[in-house]
Structure 1
């Protein structure tokens, strides 16, 4: 769960970065403000949804990464660890720490701490705005409510349907005050605050990434362009409005979630006021979003494991979760098996139509049965080191559950070098290797690795908790089989 969450955050961060880069390079200077706003909001939505789409199955449509065989080795390591625990419980004691899992927990804790800090800051800003609204006089207008602040140095700003003014703005002429109110009312009418709240929420989730604040800044700028354009179309014209912007440019907003009437980008806003309308040909640039979205999806889906593929702990029990009501098994089908007949696979699965459906029993018959009669053992004991099987359970209208298994047999493998690393002299290593059932040139066999692991754990000279059996594949594309070197990591027991 933690690993999947971290993978999702990485994929979403990548997608958001791609969309932000496309906007900066191709669209940010276009005076098509409504289109720019739509792109920015759509990019935020696509950035967080595309990785989810990849994880929900679209990734299975793409070829997997070249390192896919390594997943089979992870499954193998888990099976060996499980067997060693079962065989040498009396001598092994408690297993050693899982450093990978510990690293995930540390990363998750660091992420949660950062998210809580960001959430706390957002809550403080919202609380301060709420106190401003409740603690000062208000005047209700047709489209908004004006909050009268006592401090003269604050700029005019808006949040939600509230417009905040200070005594400084009472000194403006009637025309200037009308333009200022009209500007803030555009923010209210077009619900610009909702955009900023969306960015703030995503900022909590992606607090570690600077791309979400970039989207927030760009949305704020586009909001100001939209409000400026609406006011400039009024009979008063652009020149008096531009003068008002310059007049109030020195003021800065007190909160990140508000729209200030004037800020340091005022000259860029005035420049945008003088730009001619965007032509239809210029708007064609927004079609650029299609290849950008396609690229982000393909890159994310290609790097995302398909949810039906085996994971580091064998077939996914979530894929095979039984529905309430103890359903019965319906049809059982296999696809992709060439080396082993379907009848032999059904025999190893040892389940029949009409049997009670139990996802744990299915997992056991696929991944690891202590008796060594499961489907994985059937393949891995005969050279198929990279074997994988992906189960899918489908509930039918009659209440039964159909089981479909997709087999990826992979290339066969032979043992290459078998060697020992650890604090042993050469003669002791040679003598020990002669006692093991592993020989270079033999067909790879998981059963022999398990037997070796059991022998070493029970032999008495080595610390059972520190025994390591590390298969190291050697790919030979031009040969009929690949090789697997076996490293045995042994640590002699410390003398009392």
Structure 2
């Protein structure tokens, strides 16, 4: 069942990535709204908004520097003891993902399917808008306009707008005075010359993947507004008449744009644009606010790391998968020694650990290799498959002057545990005796992690119960060396 487990792990990792990226977008949007939006530094604001969209997507994928790790996952220099003894881990890990994926669809997969349906819908809308603009530019008369094209639309009610190198005007705009017409065309040409449509395309693509997040439309709208400020400033700087240009904005005030990809000449934000025309340039002291962008980005990065799919084992408890050594390892492994082992020899323990002197030292890798419940190759699983329910292991890392790290593992094997009473809860139609015949665990046998998982698979595959609601609760009593097993089922 490796494939369902891998697929579910990838699903949870992707959803965590989306959560982390959304958090970054929230940080960047809040900072812009509070400190940068009122400034008349339009070029800088444009750069910030584009960077916010890109960094929000990229920061959750970047690993934090090793020195920053304690800010997110506080830990001591010595590798900590496992957060819980293995028998307690068994209590709430007896519903493996692989069983749920055999006959039922986990909620994670449903969430992922819903997400990708949303992405597909947004991508379809984007493709439809691009196709509409392409047909619009081909089906109507057009003339050369500098390096671009002027497209004459047939409907007088159509607003003036531009996309890329195309400027779209209606017959109504031909009634403007020559000075007004020149300002209108120049405004739209500025959008094309400064490649504003590429900015909107980037924002739309990001919006396809974050369609569920209202912050992306906010950043996109702010970006479009900054584009208008830049074009307004370019026209009024060349014409030298802000009053006449403001009157033109009021004259051509229109409703919403035909698509979010275009730059309409005048929208409902006319009052805000006219106010910006009369706003003096931001003072150098106000421009110092942009220096805060660096700590804000670092804050977003640390926050993204806190919910990233690959946090430190010390922060979240025992990992259920064996990761590969990461590039954040600070040293190499020196010696490996064992203390307290009787059931397994040092050679067998070294084989199960699968680490050798000279390998990169990474505490997360060491922890995972010791105790992943679902992996039969780990040391904890090998003990628990042979009755050592009360087994525990404490890894200790000892940095050496030569830069290596010696590893000492202190084992407490404890006594073996025997199965005592086996009970069933939740069955009404299926007799308990029938259920006990399905499972490989029996009274008087040694406890076995492998048989515990096999029991759950057997109940799931029987077709008698809801496979997503099968629970197995070991109830150990360390003083007696016995363990009661409780099966919890929900009949179909």
Q: TM-score, normalised by structure 1?
A: 0.69
Specify every segment of 5 or more residues in structure 1 that has no aligned partner in the other structure, as ranges: 83-93, 322-331, 354-361, 390-403, 438-446, 474-480
Report the Cα distance in structure 1 between the residues aligned to 2:411 and 2:150, rounded to whole angstroms. Answer: 70
Pair 1:44 & 2:88 matched: no
Counterpart residue number, 2:111: 107
Post-superposition Cα deviations, 1:426-454, rounded to whole Å, max 9, x if no partner, equal xx9xxx999557xxxxxxxxx73538849
Specify every segment of 5 or more residues in structure 2 that has no aligned partner in the other structure, as ranges: 1-9, 76-81, 327-331, 357-365, 397-404
SS in 1 for 2:472: strand
Kept in 1, the 8 Å contact 2:141–2:151? The answer is yes
Kept in 2, the 8 Å contact 1:63–1:302? The answer is yes
Report the Cα distance in structure 2 between the residues aligned to 1:167 and 1:71, rounded to whole angstroms. Answer: 79
| Cα pair distance change 1:124/1:386, threshold 3 Å | farther
| Cα pair distance change 1:99/1:493, threshold 3 Å | closer
| Cα pair distance change 1:169/1:366, threshold 3 Å | same
Post-superposition Cα deviations, 1:198-231, rounded to whole Å, max 9, x if no partner, equal 0110111011111111111100100000100111
What is the correspondence of 1:190-339 to structure 2 with a 5 Å cutoff?
190-250=194-254, 252-306=256-310, 313-316=320-323, 319=324, 333=333
Pair 1:16 & 2:25 matched: yes
| Cα pair distance change 1:236/1:312, threshold 3 Å | same
| Cα pair distance change 1:78/1:167, threshold 3 Å | same
| Cα pair distance change 1:98/1:162, threshold 3 Å | same
* Counterpart selection for 1:490 from 474, 487, 490: 487
SS in 2 for 1:110: helix
SS in 1 for 2:297: helix
Kept in 2, the 8 Å contact 1:436–1:452? The answer is no
Counterpart residue number, 2:363: none
Counterpart residue number, 1:135: 139
| Cα pair distance change 1:387/1:162, threshold 3 Å | farther
Give the superposition deviation at 1:467: 6.8
Kept in 2, the 8 Å contact 1:55–1:304? The answer is no
Counterpart residue number, 1:478: none
- Further displaced range: 373-382 or 196-205: 373-382
Post-superposition Cα deviations, 1:362-414, rounded to whole Å, max 9, x if no partner, equal 9x99678999885234676485558799xxxxxxxxxxxxxx99899899999
Kept in 2, the 8 Å contact 1:202–1:212? The answer is yes
Pair 1:26 & 2:25 matched: no
| Cα pair distance change 1:124/1:423, threshold 3 Å | closer
Report the Cα distance in structure 2 between the residues aligned to 1:2 and 1:134, rounded to whole angstroms. Answer: 43
Report the Cα distance in structure 2 between the residues aligned to 1:190 and 1:229, rounded to whole angstroms. Answer: 13
